[in-house]
Structure 1
């Protein structure tokens, strides 16, 4: 009996050793085709596109080869990894191009692995890290004006291009859909019955972001997004060096405050103009709304361009709100970067065009797409101050008096 028991123990130990040995043999660093990344990844495709089809290269990464090289040189010192004795590191080119393709296409990590020959787990780490670095190296491309003179320059551009003097920016907010975060209840649940974070932005007359803040929960209304933003906290406390008053062109008799422009959901304030919303508007009020809309369309087009270039914003992002916010901000930094590097190419065919001779507006292609960024909903009725109403009244007087533009009468005739 004792001999049988001893033999049983020995056999079991031998079996355990064999199982452990087999288990250890099966441990590998990665799937074999991942290890052949140089053969199977998109790097070869990029080289070919760059030589034979530069337009396709631009569509692939949303930028031309020269601009890509410049961005690669900016991020290289921060994302470059060293090879080890066990395996070769994923190169800086592969890291950046995978990130840009993720932003451009909106593909999931699981789908992107077939293009990049990088595992979904590694992609999840690489893309978030690279987005963080892009935001850091491009931080100069989104800057709030710091001096009175810089704010006046923004205002001068709105007057020159869109005939709205003393305007220092157009504001708006959009929902970016996300998967419901764990243990958050309805905190991110928006009026469209989806979960989202909010991107709030201030845009200048050239479709560039002066302010981009992402991460507010989807339940927030337009007014809430504004009042809870870091920008507005400084704005209302006079910490942005914005001039208090400026003179309107054509010898308008009274100095006027510098203002933001927004849509109907935002509150009317002394420094924030919104349209009249009465059902029966006078011709003077219609003209004000028309002139306001010309300036406000800039932020609408900026968001439209952003989403059409970076399709990740039109998909449901399956990441935490914090990571989704980082990705969203990366698209804004890239938008400004590309807008300045290739302004005519980046905006070509992407914005509303107005024929001032006929008052007809040719809508930008993004407006006809089935997928668009969802706007915010105003849920609170607000009583405006007398000072706010008086400021709007004076702008109305200006637009219908010494500040008239010749084609606004045709606008009324064609929209009567």
Structure 2
């Protein structure tokens, strides 16, 4: 019996020792899992958020340069998306507050800096920076899209058409349409799908813009090798316009011609897009008649709105001047968030200054080009002729248009 008792005690001690070793191993793993780098432990004393960002609030001009928006707009944005950025603190680590996550996300868009650079500046882990950027973009899409990029309605189209006539002298216009390449890193195992004519990897941003440089309809994510026409044809906008499911107002006479034949509402675009009854493009060729040159000038004048909108977008969010080192799905989210913020921030008082900044840049967003034939219907050609005649009529001509061609 004595021998048995000794043996049982020995086994018990071994089990106890094994249990203690196991608990110590679990503790070490948990401790290493929640370990914070010594550099990041200095976040409050040396991190940009607690010092540089706090100081920038005292200098409105520099705050705008750093975040590409005012402190007041930053606060308004935080009030909208802040609840979506909040996370629960644990006994092992305090959660990053929404205000700091928003600062990191907006600075990423405003500068195009890498996650590594932002991690050093803000004394955060790279994973925390990455998660913060994705959280901010997702929150902007979830909370703000319905207000700043809503689905088109009949009333919205009428408002856009009135704006184009009053500001850009193009009647019955639903918006200016164009596409741009967003430069991305080469996705793994993607072949040549994202490889465009400029020999870079990209996705396409297709946008319809109103008379005030606001994005009204966008589509992002098509392969970089696609042409403008192909992207448009496969887009929800192109399909909706073709099937007449987008609540476009009915045909209406052109201004000053109440007794004339009603004309459809149209979008304006460059030569990369197809000519449709609802989509006007310029007359092709060089040896054009005077009236056709006038039409091309008037269409180009209205179409430049979308070029300016892209210029403002990229000048405000410098991420578009750089190659974005994210998976294409994540790039889609970044681009969508940037377009929503563009509409949130757009202001007539700032537009010209931002456009001047854009014109000083040596790098610009790459346009998408057409890569195929473009056959138009007789109806589309006739509608273009009606607009062409209107621009030569007393009701539709401009005093300076002859000098411009």
TM-score by length of 1: 0.87
Q: Which moved more, 1:269-278 or 1:136-145?
A: 136-145
The residue number in structure 1 matching 2:403 is 410
Looking at structure 2, the residues matched to 225 and 174 of structure 1 have their Cα atoms a distance apart, in angstroms, of 11
Contact 2:83 2:98 in 1 (8 A): no
Looking at structure 1, the residues matched to 187 and 353 of structure 2 have their Cα atoms a distance apart, in angstroms, of 37
The residue number in structure 2 matching 1:320 is 327
Contact 1:170 1:299 in 2 (8 A): yes
Contact 1:264 1:274 in 2 (8 A): yes
- Deviation, structure 1 residue 365: 4.2
The residue number in structure 2 matching 1:138 is 144
- Deviation, structure 1 residue 264: 0.9
| Residue number among 223, 226, 234 corresponding to 1:220 in the alignment | 226
- Deviation, structure 1 residue 73: 1.1
Residues 400/303 of structure 1: CA separation in 2 closer, same or farther (3 Å cut): same
The residue number in structure 1 matching 2:87 is 81
Q: Does 1:41 align with 2:47?
A: yes
Contact 1:173 1:222 in 2 (8 A): yes
Q: Does 1:169 align with 2:175?
A: yes
Looking at structure 2, the residues matched to 330 and 347 of structure 1 have their Cα atoms a distance apart, in angstroms, of 19
Looking at structure 2, the residues matched to 367 and 384 of structure 1 have their Cα atoms a distance apart, in angstroms, of 35
The residue number in structure 2 matching 1:256 is 263
Contact 2:40 2:124 in 1 (8 A): yes
Contact 2:315 2:357 in 1 (8 A): no
Helix, strand or coil at the partner of 1:245: coil
Q: Which moved more, 1:232-241 or 1:23-32?
A: 23-32
Looking at structure 1, the residues matched to 106 and 357 of structure 2 have their Cα atoms a distance apart, in angstroms, of 22
Looking at structure 1, the residues matched to 156 and 118 of structure 2 have their Cα atoms a distance apart, in angstroms, of 42
Helix, strand or coil at the partner of 1:81: coil
1:324-352 alpha-carbon deviations (Å, 9 max, x no partner): 0100111100000001xxx134313234x
Looking at structure 2, the residues matched to 258 and 228 of structure 1 have their Cα atoms a distance apart, in angstroms, of 21
Q: Which runs of 5+ in 1 are unaligned?
A: 1-16, 352-363
The residue number in structure 2 matching 1:66 is 72
Helix, strand or coil at the partner of 2:57: helix
Q: Does 1:390 align with 2:382?
A: yes
Residues 365/283 of structure 1: CA separation in 2 closer, same or farther (3 Å cut): farther
Helix, strand or coil at the partner of 2:353: coil
Alignment of 1:2-401 (within 5 A): 24=28, 27=32, 29-43=35-49, 44-51=51-58, 53-139=59-145, 140-147=147-154, 149-251=155-257, 253-339=260-346, 343-351=347-355, 364-401=356-393
1:341-393 alpha-carbon deviations (Å, 9 max, x no partner): xx134313234xxxxxxxxxxxx442342110000011001111111111111
- Deviation, structure 1 residue 144: 3.5
Looking at structure 2, the residues matched to 158 and 117 of structure 1 have their Cα atoms a distance apart, in angstroms, of 48
- Deviation, structure 1 residue 92: 0.7
Looking at structure 2, the residues matched to 61 and 287 of structure 1 have their Cα atoms a distance apart, in angstroms, of 42
- Deviation, structure 1 residue 32: 1.1
Looking at structure 1, the residues matched to 129 and 234 of structure 2 have their Cα atoms a distance apart, in angstroms, of 33
Looking at structure 1, the residues matched to 77 and 173 of structure 2 have their Cα atoms a distance apart, in angstroms, of 33
Q: CA RMSD in A?
A: 2.2
Contact 2:241 2:278 in 1 (8 A): no
Helix, strand or coil at the partner of 1:138: helix
Looking at structure 2, the residues matched to 134 and 115 of structure 1 have their Cα atoms a distance apart, in angstroms, of 24
Helix, strand or coil at the partner of 1:349: helix
Looking at structure 2, the residues matched to 214 and 42 of structure 1 have their Cα atoms a distance apart, in angstroms, of 33
Looking at structure 1, the residues matched to 102 and 360 of structure 2 have their Cα atoms a distance apart, in angstroms, of 31
Q: Which runs of 5+ in 2 are unaligned?
A: 1-20
Helix, strand or coil at the partner of 1:288: helix
- Deviation, structure 1 residue 36: 2.4
Looking at structure 2, the residues matched to 159 and 232 of structure 1 have their Cα atoms a distance apart, in angstroms, of 23
- Deviation, structure 1 residue 143: 2.0
